[in-house]
Structure 1
Amino acid sequence: MRIQIESETVTILCELNDSQAAADLVVQLPLTIEVENFSTNEKTFYPPEKLDISDAQLANAEKGTLAYYSPWADVVLFYDHFGQGSQLYELGQVIDGIDEIEALSGTITITVSE
């Protein structure tokens, strides 16, 4: 399954893994939501509903990793190395637009991509 993340100037394509958490994100799409900067290496947004992490793998986040941080119930898109963190679960990877992640800002639209 693939999703597309778009702002006014940026389009990013992600390939999701087979976890229930990724499936839970997909059923909430399409979403139009605010993306926020966090730290020096990530963009975050908050889906309306929490994701089921019961079968999700912990993430070893690198540039291009799409993950879910369960304590805050936010989806994280990394534009630089992060590494491992407890309660950070991988949802997928950017397959197109990896160098555009840092430029995401404001309102984004997330849709299922064919």
Structure 2
Amino acid sequence: MPKEWTGKQERQYEHIKESAEERGEGTKRAKEIAARTVNKNRAQSGQSKTASRSSVKDKSPQQRGGQRSGSKGPKGPTRDQLYNEAKKRNIKGRSTMTKSQLAKALGKA
């Protein structure tokens, strides 16, 4: 974590990262989501040296609450999220299943 982050921001980063991983995101993607969220909050509060116009003018990630997250394309959990849940439930043949087949096997279709 960057040394400019406060203790509260580090705790927020860890919480967001863990939540993303629980939702089925990979470790690398979870870290990216958490860092972007914390950095956007820092930009909005004037703590960062450089900030894009969209970071400063837009709603905070907490206010937005995933509003624009995946507004195009299929809804629901990703194939990776479904796969991870199938892995936890020990469903056979999950590695060759498509997203819809995984959803059906998990009873979500």
Structure that is richer in strand per residue: 1
Indicate the TM-score class for this superposition, using the shorter chain for normalisation.
Answer: under 0.3
Choose 1 or 2 for highest CA Rg.
2
Greater RCO, CA 8 A, separation 6+: 1
User: Going by fraction, where is helix more abundant, 1 or 2?
Assistant: 2
**TM-score, normalising length: structure 1:** 0.23
